[in-house]
Amino acid sequence: QYRVGYNGGRVVAGANGKGNRLDQLDHPHCVFVDHDHSVCVSDKNKHRVMVWEDNAKQGTAFTGSQ
């Protein structure tokens, strides 16, 4: 997570190694943060889009397999 002018940060998604669980990413490709601070990541090799809502421990798979 990054805020303009802030020098720190924290991991908000994909900190549990490479994989296909809902708390992992395999091959992240594009990242988008929406107006609710949800982090959306296209996981290229798994053919899915993962979304982590603000402060979530695991994401939701919106396409492909979990």
Its domain, for residue 22, covers 1-66
Q: How confident is the model at residue 40 (pLDDT cuts 50, 70, 90)?
A: very high
Question: Would the pLDDT of 61 be above 60?
Answer: yes
**How far apart (Å, rounded) are the C-alpha atoms in residues 6 and 29?**
25
**How far apart (Å, rounded) are the C-alpha atoms in residues 27 and 50?**
11
The domain tally of the chain equals 1
Predicted local distance difference test score (pLDDT) of residue 2: 59
Nearest to 28 by CA among 18, 37, 16, 36: 18
